[in-house]
Amino acid sequence: SAVISQKPSRDICQRGTSLTIQCQVDSQVTMMFWYRQQPGQSLTLIATANQGSEATYESGFVIDKFPISRPNLTFSTLTVSNMSPEDSSIYLCSGGAVPDTQYFGPGTRLTVL
């Protein structure tokens, strides 16, 4: 199994600022993803983090707002840019090495004031 860590675990940010969330996997995974889980709601896929190339974004999410990097197989970052209170959410990194395995990181709880 893969162990996924995220930093920071939580943060409180001011409107208009940006926050970069880091995701580290302890073993190589083929796919990495970023999700958002808003309070009391289910998970929404933001994007697939592609190694060495631009991320693939889902409908409703754009690179300018959520730039993503994945320089190698075990590390990815998600930046939440120009934040507003509507961006307050839990951001989750996930990854897997084979089709039917999927591990989630512990999440980053973001509050935007």
Partner 1 sequence: QKEVEQNSGPLSVPEGAIASLNCTYSDRGSQSFFWYRQYSGKSPELIMSIYSNGDKEDGRFTAQLNKASQYVSLLIRDSQPSDSATYLCAVTLGRTNAGKSTFGDGTTLTVKP
Give yes or no for residue 44 binding partner 1 (CB under 8 A).
yes
88-92 own/partner pairs: CB under 8 Å, 24+ apart: 88/38, 88/39, 88/112, 89/36, 89/37, 89/38, 89/39, 90/36, 90/37, 90/38, 91/6, 91/21, 91/34, 91/35, 91/36, 91/37, 91/46, 92/6, 92/34, 92/35, 92/36, 92/37, 92/43
Question: Quick check: 107 and 10 in contact, CB under 8 A?
Answer: no
Least separation in angstroms between residue 68's CB and partner 1 is 14
Give yes or no for residue 107 binding partner 1 (CB under 8 A).
yes
Among 20, 106, 111, 113, contact with partner 1 (rule: CB under 8 A): 106
Give yes or no for residue 96 binding partner 1 (CB under 8 A).
yes
Among 22, 48, 79, 88, contact with partner 1 (rule: CB under 8 A): 48
Give yes or no for residue 55 binding partner 1 (CB under 8 A).
no
Least separation in angstroms between residue 111's CB and partner 1 is 15
**How many residues lie near partner 1 (CB under 8 A)?**
23
Among 7, 22, 31, 67, contact with partner 1 (rule: CB under 8 A): 31
For partner 1, the binding residues (CB under 8 A) are 30-33, 41-45, 48, 92, 94-96, 99-107
